[in-house]
Amino acid sequence: MKNSPRDSFTPFPTLRPLALTLGSMVLWSAQATAQEAAPSPAASAPAQLETVTVQMQKDPAVLPYAMLNRVLTQLQTVGEGLVRLDFKLLPKDDQKPLINPKLALSTEDRYIPIPVAADGAFVLPLLPQAQAKDAEVASNQAKGTMRIQGLLEINAKPEEVDMKLVRRIMRVGHSLRTEMLPFYLRWLMPQIEGLKICSPQAGWQLEWPEGGQTLTLPLEALPPSKAPAVKKNGKNEPDPRPFCTVLSGQERWPDAAKLVAPANSKLSVQLSR
């Protein structure tokens, strides 16, 4: 009896609560082993794809899709389009890279492959809540070899930032905790303390018109870390943006004060420790 695509993927059970999902931003680890046969097209006939067999093993550390779907759906509403969760598939051991990793979303009547980019990035499909409750995420990776990370990112570019946007982001950050989590679980999710701007070199400033002239205010850099580094291809490399500053939205500068940042700057959220 031939297995259907859905039968090829075994669902992952849940162990962690929603609050821990948002608080840690490390959303799950997956596992499985896979064998795949390549398609063999004929010269004078349409190509026929051979059967793909994927053997799965359960991983008790993975969160259910229904919970992830609810988080992403609420994030779209509460987040007002200002923030998003970016997912990335990473090896648990940096010395053992993943080989041909695959993800899929499986429901009672649908099988949805999830494309995984070369750097491990992927987009988790959203479903209506009625369909999401029975959907499950599956992977072809061996047990204990991978982890899936979710990071809260800003949907804005440095040149779009002014103090009005900073204050709006801070308001959204407060709403994420108060509207998505009950009060007794909010301590698990760190607070957003500000908008962080990191650059290859210092030199940020705010500019705004006042009294017929343009006022300029330089911004101070955060104390530098001893050895700023980032992970790339499993190795520690110098951080390309080691200089950072933070805007909390509580500053007394006007909403029209616009950020001027060095080239190749990156925005992120500053979380409480």
The answer to whether 219 and 199 have CB atoms below 8 angstroms apart is no
Query: Mean pLDDT in the chain?
Result: 76
Q: What is the pLDDT of residues 78-131, one digit of tens each?
A: 889 898 889 888 888 888 888 898 888 888 788 889 999 999 999 989 998 888
> From start to end of the chain, where are the E strands?
26-28, 33-35, 53-55, 83-91, 103-106, 111-114, 121-122, 136-139, 146-154, 192-199, 205-210, 213-218, 229-232, 235-238, 243-247, 258-260, 266-271
Q: What is the pLDDT along the chain (273 residues), one digit of tens a residue?
A: 444 444 444 343 333 344 444 444 333 333 333 333 334 444 444 444 333 344 544 343 455 788 888 888 888 888 898 988 898 888 888 888 888 988 888 887 888 899 999 999 999 899 988 888 888 888 888 877 888 888 889 999 999 999 999 999 999 988 887 877 766 666 656 788 999 999 999 999 999 999 999 999 999 999 877 656 666 655 677 778 899 999 999 999 999 999 999 999 999 999 886
